[in-house]
Amino acid sequence: MTSSSHRTRVSRVVSPAGFDIWHVEDYTVPLVSLEFAMLGGAAQDPADRAGLASFLAGLLDEGAGPLKAEAFQEAMEEKAIELSFGASRDRLSGSMRTLTEHVDSAFDLLALAVREPRFDKDAIERVRSQIISGLKRDETDPQSLTRDALNRLAFPGHPYAHPTDGRIPAVQAITREDLKTLHGRLFARDVLRIVSVGAISAEAVAAGVDRVFGDLPAAAMHHAVPEVAMHSAGHTEIIDLDVPQSTLYLALPGVSRRDPDFMASYIVNHVLGGGAFTSRLWHEVRETRGLAYSVWSSLRWSAHSKLFLAGTATSNERVGESLRVMRAEIARIGESGPTEEELSKAKSYLTGSYALQFDTSRKIADHLLSLRVDGLPIDYIDQRNHDVEAVTLDATLEAARRLFGNAKPLVVVTGQPQGLDA
């Protein structure tokens, strides 16, 4: 059986105005996805304005240029154009999806949103009330409470200590001037990363990109954000919430994305708790003991920090046992690393599954953008599986010892846990 399938080919397109775009051209479905990131997201919020970048992102499609919010939304709807914006710690991102036949209108609307957001008073109040509503809901949501406390304890005094959406008093204090100022500081050519995927030529993408971003200032005005190591090692924090099940997070210092040990560490984490249905934590916590529905671990790197995180949710009366099992598994892998067999299985999973990240244009665009944000080169997607294969058993042992040898985790539990000696 012949088939016309192909590996994803990413080409570098340099637009007439000098923008560097990673582009995948594919005409199977008549759609175009364009994604961009302005490096420097919530971490650029002023200390007394936590949530500002997120607020700014929320206002970009709430009226721009001559179009007030309703007219802007109607213009999108009339052609089924999707624009969305959001902020995370280290970037403010935008995404444009459109049918190819409407790509010109989509670029026009995106250009308005990026260059001339109106910041109308009624739109500001509407978005403010929506953000506050979400923050209120987070106040009793076990996952949000746990995550928030963990960041607060791990990164005290650092911008990463606050949730991306901020805190209610800070969000209440944000003014139109704050939003305009941040827009002026963050939107610039030197921090812009762009990727595009779909039924559109390189020339047409380049022309559209120039139209959207062409007259941005050359350089962003970022505050310096310091590197931050994990604080509160060895501390256990309990947040009381009247629920039958506790949510538990455990944190340790991690590794950064560009660390030479990154891939070995990534494999160690996969064996411990990264691989669904096959990891050591899954086997011990869920399969053998039925302690939880979900148990996981992951490496979480940001531009200025690095964490290892593990988590589960288990009945209040079984928290002590669950934590003991998780800590024992962390200690075990920290002492002797993965086995030869686990290493080879992890490699075959990680290399085999990489293609699954390339089967929709949105997934391709998301993945390419995160590579760009992490500062990886355009040939990374060809190189990546070789990097996985090159990891030796010694390297994983080394990485496991570095991550988990003598581990003093920061633990946060939300619920009414029993069996913890806090």
Partner 1 sequence: MTTLPAFGHFHLENGLEVVVIPDHRAPVVTHMIYYRNGSADDPLGKSGIAHFLEHLMFKGTEANPKGSFSNIVSDVGGQENAFTSYDYTAYYQRVAKEHLERMMTLESDRMTGLVLEGPEVLSERDVVIEERKMRTDSDPAAQLQESLMATLYVHHPYGTPVIGWGHEIEELGREDALAYYRRFYRPDNAILIVAGDVEEAEVRALAERTYGKVRPGNAEKPQRRRVREPEIKANRFVSLADQKVEQPMTQRIYLVPTYIRAPENDAPALEVLNQILGGSQTSRLYRALVVNNPLAVGAGSWYWSDALDIGQFGVYAVPTDGVNLPDLDAAIDAVLAELRNTDVDAKELARARTRLIADMVYAQDSQAHLARMVGSTLTTGGKIDDLAQWSERIRTVEAADIRRVANRYLLPGKAVTGHLTKAAA
Q: Per the structure block, which two tokens stand in for 82?
A: 């999707």
Q: How many Cα neighbours within 13 Å face the side chain of 402?
A: 19
CB of 27 to partner 1, least distance (A): 10
* CA proximity to 65, closest of 106, 113, 102: 113
* CA proximity to 350, closest of 261, 283, 252, 279: 279
CB of 292 to partner 1, least distance (A): 5
Find the binding residues for partner 1 in span 144-203 (CB under 8 A). Answer: none
- Cβ proximity to partner 1, 177 vs 359, nearer residue: 359
- Tell me: does residue 31 bind partner 1 (CB under 8 A): yes
CB of 191 to partner 1, least distance (A): 29
CB of 127 to partner 1, least distance (A): 9
Strands in 265-324 per DSSP E = 292-301, 306-315
* CA proximity to 95, closest of 176, 193, 12: 193
* CA proximity to 349, closest of 276, 261, 243: 276
Contact 200, 26 (CB under 8 A): no
Contact 75, 351 (CB under 8 A): no
Selected from 245, 265, 297, 302, the binder of partner 1 by CB under 8 A is 245
- Tell me: does residue 222 bind partner 1 (CB under 8 A): no
- Cβ proximity to partner 1, 201 vs 344, nearer residue: 344
Name residue, tokens 């990363």.
193
Cα–Cα distance, 81 to 375 (Å, whole number): 30
List residues bridging with 346 in a β-sheet.
none
Contact 307, 246 (CB under 8 A): no
CB of 280 to partner 1, least distance (A): 13
Cα–Cα distance, 290 to 288 (Å, whole number): 6
Selected from 6, 226, 234, 422, the binder of partner 1 by CB under 8 A is 6
CB atoms within 10 A of CB 209: 26
Q: Are strands 20-25 and 31-39 parallel, antiparallel or unpaired?
A: unpaired
- Tell me: does residue 70 bind partner 1 (CB under 8 A): yes
- Tell me: does residue 5 bind partner 1 (CB under 8 A): yes
Per CB under 8 A, the segment of 11-19, 138-146, 298-306, 373-381 that binds partner 1 is 138-146
Selected from 167, 211, 345, 384, the binder of partner 1 by CB under 8 A is 345
Cα–Cα distance, 47 to 156 (Å, whole number): 12
- Tell me: does residue 242 bind partner 1 (CB under 8 A): yes
Q: How many residues in the shown chain lie near partner 1 by CB under 8 A?
A: 70
- Tell me: does residue 381 bind partner 1 (CB under 8 A): no
Contact letters for partner 1, residues 261-300 (x by CB under 8 A): --------------xxxx-------xxxxxxxxx------
- Cβ proximity to partner 1, 156 vs 344, nearer residue: 344
Per CB under 8 A, the segment of 11-19, 37-45, 122-130, 394-402 that binds partner 1 is 122-130
- Tell me: does residue 406 bind partner 1 (CB under 8 A): no
Q: Are strands 63-64 and 410-415 parallel, antiparallel or unpaired?
A: unpaired
Selected from 73, 181, 298, 416, the binder of partner 1 by CB under 8 A is 73
DSSP 6: -
Contact 104, 207 (CB under 8 A): no
- Tell me: does residue 4 bind partner 1 (CB under 8 A): yes
Per CB under 8 A, the segment of 41-49, 147-155, 158-166, 237-245 that binds partner 1 is 237-245
- Tell me: does residue 353 bind partner 1 (CB under 8 A): yes
Find the binding residues for partner 1 in span 299-328 (CB under 8 A). Answer: 313-315
Cα–Cα distance, 249 to 53 (Å, whole number): 26
Binding stretches for partner 1 (CB under 8 A): 1, 3-8, 26, 28-31, 69-70, 73-74, 77-80, 97, 99, 122, 125-126, 129-130, 132-133, 136-137, 139-140, 142, 241-245, 275-278, 286-294, 313-315, 345, 348-356, 358-362
